[in-house]
Structure 1
């Protein structure tokens, strides 16, 4: 389980060190930085697949995603530009009870390449334990060079130079000398993100699809019917039925198999025939998608949900909260939401829930009520 998330200079996240529990809610007003935090987590996950540089390019490049305020904030005077004293840097990292990882990206030295706007990975570090200290470092990357701490505690050169756009997580694999790197990489690749599911008339979830065993719902929900049927067969009896009954009393969902093509059939009290996926209301379809996503028989280490309450009637929020709390029994969950009724439903079901409210202070995102001494221990290494 992650215990700390740290981000520096990503959009409004000028400097944030966030404690994490098993079930976390990140909330705040529009523009407070919730989406930036969600994107920062996705960037970390992309790093494990060597996709962080490309993901930043899709957001407009490093210059577009960097903190847009002054390098040093003075609350006693208006924001103004000054001569930069430190390097341009975007840093992201996390720590858990067993391992921690961080990445530091910066601008390249122009050398006439067509890719001179691509950010470079300047530093990476993997360490043992909940916070970075020299004695806990296991693998360290400085520009192109990677070094590994041996079992005797001595540092060894990896013998392999990385490209500046390649992460050591994806491009350096040594199961004998650095097995911890593979462990952390596989965990990060298993992080699961669900954003706004499509429920329009052309949504993939409304179509009949070829069905195979589906333990993990696709991000676009296209394999909804197969995912629901997999949960029915692999999870305890009544798992899907109970979730549907809680959201829509007197209703049940069936998966119809026509020569290997699966379709959802929703039986509703008072109707003579079931409704197909194409006929379902947006809210009903969205709730079924969350049933399939959150009751997965293959839970991830980390599950991140971005505004799951979107388009749901307030009466469905307690049922959705029950799904989230159920998922948190098997996975660490981070929910990004601005819905107070949804948060209240989660609080009623989970006393262990941690709620973190983001606010803006001089344009920078901070955690409401968090003072410097309240932050988890965290240290960024120098370049």
Structure 2
């Protein structure tokens, strides 16, 4: 394990965030799949990751405003702050450490405020007293200085600033910087084929946007800087969509980029706007999976949209391969996708009697495991109503 690279999220706890009044995901695998009925809270879990990413990248106020402030974030009828707890493992001086990051936010005088922000680490075995690396409230707190071995008092400019984002810009605080870079480096996907049909201004871009509207720019970047990666993408795409031979990103006279796909039976490539939705969306996903520097966490919401059902088990296999180097979170309704998932990777989300979300791991169900041991697949169990915790009909 690299000394400055978290190995992945081990657990996350969420309180008072919309439907997630009090939920926990423990012992997360490198591939984590969420399934449940419409309105059960799957997208809300996905949005928690998006909220934290935006708060670290663009500022808490920006993420807060984008969601209609506290009225759009806090659980209905709840009092007190919205809280998150994130645990991941990293290496410090060649020793494994479990890092815990806690964030509690509230509203005061119409503005967001960080009620508490705390980062601490423990030993690999979790023994001994955890050490606070940062501990802040309303813009004031302390940060541990590794060189001096002492805590230093720090005052931020505003109570809505995250200490991790502010202090993580300085080399003097390497552990804080690791966390800042880790969360701000997450990639959350809301790709649609329609957005991928754009003709943007030419210019290579290293990573696909959340909507996929810069796909031609990413293809241009791969053409120019990583042709071997693009070749691998063509290879995989042609295996999944046999008639596709190659993809090019060509610069027009007015400086815009045009995406073209070459079909094997024809001499000339066709414009992206004439290519099927499924082919374009699969191409967009492959640019993420074969990114030369993959994000530490990748989120994919409902990949089954616009894809043929036969491609979904194959897509699951591609995602499993990328999960060797990145942690992947997927939300889905698709039994075809679930058929390629292991029980320990699947979390079922349903609404409890109080209307708030409840989460259950499939591998924690004795009934599910007995049927899996007998040869059943999760996709078939979903179709037959045995994933009761996520069943829209409420079968128990």
Alignment of 1:166 with 2:161, yes or no, is yes
By how many angstroms is 1:254 displaced?
2.5
User: 1:133, 1:337 → 2: CA distance?
Assistant: 40
Question: Is the contact between residue 25 and residue 353 of structure 1 (CA under 8 Å) also seen in structure 2?
Answer: no
For residue 216 of structure 2, what is the aligned residue in structure 1?
225
> Residue 94 of structure 1: SS of its match in structure 2?
strand
- Provide closer, same or farther for how the CA distance between residues 235 and 126 of structure 1 changes in structure 2, counting only shifts above 3 A: farther
Quote the residue 1:216 is aligned against: 207
For residue 32 of structure 2, the aligned residue among 7, 15, 24 is 24
Q: Is the 8 A contact 1:299 1:330 kept in 2?
A: yes
| CA-CA distance at 1:97 after TM superposition | 1.4
Q: Which has the larger displacement, 35-44 or 208-217? A: 208-217
SS of the residue corresponding to residue 23 of structure 2 reads strand
1:283 to 257, 278, 281: 278
| 1:177–1:290 distance in 2 versus 1, CA, 3 Å | closer
Structure 2 CA distance for partners of 1:352 and 1:178, relative to 1, 3 Å: farther
C-alpha distance in structure 2 between counterparts of 1:36 and 1:220, whole Å: 18
Aligned match of 1:39: 47
SS in 1 for 2:143: strand
TM-score (norm 2): 0.77
Q: 1:328 aligns with which of 298, 323, 330?
A: 323
Deviations 1:342-363 (A, max 9, x none): 1213x2xxx5961111111121
CA distance in 1, matches of 2:157, 2:210: 31
Q: Which has the higher contact order (CA 8 A, sep 6+)?
A: 1
Equivalent-residue separation in structure 2 for 1:175 and 1:4 (angstroms): 27
For residues 236 and 10 of structure 2, the distance between their equivalents in structure 1, rounded to whole angstroms, comes to 30
Task: Write the distance in 2 (CA, Å) between the matches of 1:212 and 1:48.
Answer: 27
The TM-score normalised by the length of structure 1 is: 0.80
State the shift of 1:15 in Å: 0.8
Correspondent of 2:19 among 12, 18, 31: 12
Kept in 2: contact 1:358–1:367 (CA 8 A): yes
Matched-pair contact (CA < 8 Å) for 2:20–2:41: yes
Of 32-41 and 55-64, more deviation after overlay is shown by 55-64
Q: Residue 155 of structure 1 corresponds to which residue in structure 2?
A: 151
Separation (CA, whole Å) in 2 of partners of 1:118 and 1:288? 42
Structure 1 counterpart of 2:384: none
1:59 positional shift? 1.8
How many residues are matched? Answer: 340
User: What is the aligned partner in structure 1 of residue 381 from structure 2?
Assistant: none
Give the direction of change, closer, same or farther, for the CA distance of 1:241–1:370 in structure 2 (3 Å limit): closer
Contact 1:231 1:297 in 2 (8 A): no
Q: Is the 8 A contact 2:247 2:260 kept in 1?
A: yes
The CA distance in 1 between the partners of 2:257 and 2:363, in whole Å, is 53
- Structure 2, unaligned runs of 5 or more: 1-7, 91-98, 365-396
Relative to structure 1, the CA distance from residue 371 to residue 162 in structure 2 (aligned partners, 3 Å threshold; closer, same or farther) is farther
Cα deviation, residue 118, structure 1: 2.1
More helix by share: 2
User: Which residue of 175, 181, 186 corresponds with 1:186?
Assistant: 181
Structure 1 residue 366: Cα displacement: 1.5
Is the contact made by 1:265 and 1:275 (CA closer than 8 Å) also made in structure 2?
yes
Asked if the contact 1:216/1:298 (under 8 Å) is kept, the reply is no
Partner of 1:257: 250
Other-structure match for 2:101? 101
Name the counterpart of 1:75.
none
- Alignment root-mean-square deviation, CA: 2.8
